[in-house]
């Protein structure tokens, strides 16, 4: 380019970048309205023409400007100039949009007014372009059709027809016979059916056992029932107190119960002992033996016999037990008495409620009568109001017509606005689809590049990461094998140690069992002797005399029952 042309191009490029925000307003609006079918790649052309018309038209002159316009596509330039030099567009939205970037006074004096001055001359240029479009005739050049020519090739000699080869029919191999196992059912199926039948039989047995022993926890065996009766007879508990036995068991000392259990010969029942029970019983007998040895040593040294104190203690505990049983019986009778009183109070409340119900029914009848009179008066008022409303409905039809016309106008405006919004949304979707297509093309181009697929690994080499204790895979496998061997040796040693400890523990348990059997035999003999002595000394038991408090409470309960029955008869 010449110096002048180069300066003009650089100035134009600088101006387009400087005023890009103003030019984008016009070009974007052109693409949204008249240039919807124009290419996006031609956007820069419209930006340059808009810049020259706005800022350089006076310097260039109309002649140079029209020469630049005519050098481009006639239809596109005619459409863009007609859109840009429209008086309505310049005075309305273009002026308002440019006022967002510059002062409104500056926009009017320096941008809009020059364009309006040049508008008549530019309109002549637009008419020339339209005439050119109307009178444009396309001269189609007729191109000469190429005619093909044959190649000058040497003619080949005809080949001799080969003789047919002798036919060898293929012989099929002998087929193998079908194995007989195909026609037999598999063994696994029979095994599965046998397992199913076995499981079904076990389930039926369990169900039958569960149904037969459903209330087993509620029933008591004959052996346990005899033992319980023996305990009750030894404790001398009266028959009237038996239903409340759980309350009395909280009061009885466990030492007394254990003494009676020791006196009874219940040691004949076979009991299966585990290791913990054997060691625990052995420790108990060892402790008893040590206490007996200590007592004998104390007696040798001159200590007294505590038998008198134990007998006195037993008597006192018996008295305390009788007192506590009497107190429990008093509490039970007091509870019965309070129950009878509560029943009487409830019957009194029922009578009072009946009286209150009668009064409420009378008040309700009066209120219903008043409500009926009030409803009659309201119905008369509603009739009068309905007559007034019917008169007012006659003038409503005209108001409805006016309201319907107003709604139709609003609906038309809304339809126009919604059409414009849909148009803009479609254009945005088209731009997004183009961007997605370009991005997909780039991703496919990247994926089409060849990559290294095979990587050869040497197991004897080190990774080379610069870490302490770094080793190859072969060395790692060797070390793991050594560790496994060491672990197996440690497990063998531990297994031998466990076996020796188990044998020593079994020997200790056998010794404890021998010791326990000896102690049990001795204790059984002592209990039998003690029981025989007690039978000789036992006398006929006297029935305990009831307490005065209990008798008084029973009398009060009888009186309350009689009063309650009378009250029930009245109700």
- In this prediction, residues 419-440 reach a mean pLDDT of 87
**Confidence (pLDDT) at 543:** 44
Distance from C-alpha of 125 to C-alpha of 113, rounded to nearest angstrom: 19
Instruction: Find, among 472, 506, 46, 490, the residue nearest to 275 by Cα.
Output: 506
Distance from C-alpha of 256 to C-alpha of 263, rounded to nearest angstrom: 11
Distance from C-alpha of 68 to C-alpha of 77, rounded to nearest angstrom: 10
Q: For residue range 314-346, what is the model confidence (pLDDT) as tens digits?
A: 888 888 888 888 888 888 888 888 888 888 888
Instruction: Find, among 544, 540, 534, 533, the residue nearest to 319 by Cα.
Output: 544
**Confidence (pLDDT) at 489:** 94
In order, the DSSP letters of 446-458 are HHTS---------
Q: For residue range 457-475, what is the model confidence (pLDDT) as tens digits?
A: 778 888 777 788 788 888 8
Q: Residue 79: which residues within 8 A CB-CB, separation 6 or more?
A: 34, 35
> Mean pLDDT across the chain, nearest whole number?
80
Write the CA distances from 543 to 220, 237, 534, 563, integer angstroms. Answer: 29, 10, 20, 33
Q: Residue 326: which residues within 8 A CB-CB, separation 6 or more?
A: 547, 549, 550
**Contact indicator for 43, 87 with CB cutoff of 8 Å:** no
Distance from C-alpha of 338 to C-alpha of 201, rounded to nearest angstrom: 58
Distance from C-alpha of 267 to C-alpha of 261, rounded to nearest angstrom: 10
Ordered by start, the domain boundaries in the chain are 3-136
Distance from C-alpha of 386 to C-alpha of 393, rounded to nearest angstrom: 11
Query: For the chain, how big is the Rg over CA atoms in Å?
Result: 60
Tokens representing residue 441 in the block: 């093309």
Tokens representing residue 512 in the block: 């404890």
Q: For residue range 14-73, what is the model confidence (pLDDT) as tens digits?
A: 999 998 898 899 999 999 888 888 888 888 999 999 998 888 888 888 888 888 888 888
Helices 43-55 + 20-32 axis angle, to 10: 120
- Residue 434 clears pLDDT 70, i.e. is over it: yes
**Confidence (pLDDT) at 244:** 45
Distance from C-alpha of 464 to C-alpha of 461, rounded to nearest angstrom: 9
Q: For residue range 184-199, what is the model confidence (pLDDT) as tens digits?
A: 888 888 899 999 999 9
Q: Tokens 């080869």 identify what position?
A: 165
Instruction: Find, among 118, 1, 19, the residue nearest to 63 by Cα.
Output: 118
Tokens representing residue 61 in the block: 């002159």
Predicted TM-score of the model (pTM): 0.28
In order, the DSSP letters of 161-187 are PPPPPPP-PPPPPPPPPPPGGGGS--H
Tokens representing residue 507 in the block: 């020997």
CA torsion, points 351, 354, 356, 362, in degrees to nearest 10? Answer: -150
**Contact indicator for 51, 23 with CB cutoff of 8 Å:** yes
Distance from C-alpha of 431 to C-alpha of 425, rounded to nearest angstrom: 10
Distance from C-alpha of 429 to C-alpha of 421, rounded to nearest angstrom: 12
Distance from C-alpha of 39 to C-alpha of 52, rounded to nearest angstrom: 21
- Residue 291 clears pLDDT 50, i.e. is over it: yes
Instruction: Find, among 86, 87, 83, 85, the residue nearest to 75 by Cα.
Output: 83
**Confidence (pLDDT) at 241:** 45
Distance from C-alpha of 53 to C-alpha of 153, rounded to nearest angstrom: 68
- Helices (H) and strands (E) counted in the chain, each on its own, are 19, 0
Q: 451 falls in which pLDDT band (50, 70, 90)?
A: low
Q: For residue range 239-260, what is the model confidence (pLDDT) as tens digits?
A: 444 444 444 444 443 444 455 5
Chain centroid to Cα 461, Å, comes to 49
Distance from C-alpha of 559 to C-alpha of 553, rounded to nearest angstrom: 10
């Amino acid at each position: 380019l010449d110096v002048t042309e180069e300066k003009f191009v650089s100035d134009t490029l600088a101006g387009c970048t400087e005023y890009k925000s103003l030019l984008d307003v016009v070009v974007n609006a052109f693409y949204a309205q008249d240039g919807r079918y124009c290419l996006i790649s031609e956007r820069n052309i419209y930006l340059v023409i808009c810049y020259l018309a706005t800022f350089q038209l006076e310097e260039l002159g109309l002649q140079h400007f029209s020469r630049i316009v005519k050098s481009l596509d006639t239809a596109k330039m005619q459409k863009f100039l007609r859109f840009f030099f429209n008086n309505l567009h310049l005075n309305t939205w273009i002026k308002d949009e440019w006022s967002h970037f510059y002062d409104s006074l500056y926009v009017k004096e320096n941008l809009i007014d020059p364009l309006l001055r040049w508008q008549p001359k530019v309109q002549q240029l637009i008419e020339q372009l339209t005439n050119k479009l109307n009178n444009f005739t396309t001269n189609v050049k007729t191109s000469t059709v190429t005619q093909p020519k044959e190649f000058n090739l040497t003619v080949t000699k005809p080949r001799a027809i080969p003789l047919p080869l002798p036919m060898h029919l293929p012989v099929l191999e002998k087929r193998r016979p079908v194995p007989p196992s195909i026609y037999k059912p598999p063994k696994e199926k029979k095994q599965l059916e046998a397992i199913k039948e076995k499981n079904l039989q076990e389930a039926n047995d369990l169900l039958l056992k569960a149904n037969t022993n459903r209330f087993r926890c509620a029933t008591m065996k004959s052996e346990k029932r005899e033992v319980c009766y023996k305990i009750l007879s030894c404790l001398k508990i009266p028959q009237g107190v038996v239903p409340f036995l759980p309350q009395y068991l909280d009061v009885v000392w466990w030492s007394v119960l254990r003494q009676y259990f020791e006196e009874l010969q219940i040691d004949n029942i076979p009991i299966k002992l585990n290791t913990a029970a054997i060691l625990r019983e052995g420790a108990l007998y060892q402790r008893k033996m040590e206490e007996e040895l200590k007592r004998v040593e104390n007696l040798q040294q001159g200590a007294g016999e505590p038998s008198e104190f134990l007998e006195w203690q037993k008597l006192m505990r018996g008295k305390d037990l009788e007192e506590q049983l009497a107190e429990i019986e008093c509490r039970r009778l007091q509870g019965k008495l309070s129950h009878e009183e509560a029943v009487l109070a409830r019957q009194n409340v029922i009578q009072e409620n009946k009286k209150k119900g009668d009064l409420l029914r009378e008040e309700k009848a009066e209120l219903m009568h008043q409500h009926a009179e009030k409803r009659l008066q309201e119905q008369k008022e509603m009739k009068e109001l309905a007559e007034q409303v019917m008169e007012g409905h006659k003038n409503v039809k005209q108001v409805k017509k006016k309201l319907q016309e107003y709604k139709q106008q609003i609906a038309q405006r809304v339809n126009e606005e919604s059409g414009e919004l849909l148009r803009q949304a479609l254009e945005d979707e088209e731009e997004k689809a183009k961007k997605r297509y370009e991005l997909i093309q780039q991703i496919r181009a990247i994926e089409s590049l060849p990559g290294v697929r095979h990587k050869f690994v040497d197991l004897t080499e080190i990774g080379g990461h610069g870490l302490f204790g770094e080793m190859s895979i072969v060395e790692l496998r060797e070390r793991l094998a050594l560790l496994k061997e060491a672990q197996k040796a440690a497990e063998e040693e531990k297994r031998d140690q466990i076996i020796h400890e188990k044998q020593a523990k079994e020997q200790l348990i056998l010794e404890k069992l021998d010791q326990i059997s000896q102690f049990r035999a001795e204790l059984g003999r002592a209990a039998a002797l003690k029981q025989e002595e007690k039978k000789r000394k036992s006398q006929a038991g006297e029935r305990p005399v009831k307490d005065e408090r209990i008798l008084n409470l029973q009398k009060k309960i009888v009186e309350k029952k009689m009063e309650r029955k009378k009250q029930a008869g009245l109700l």
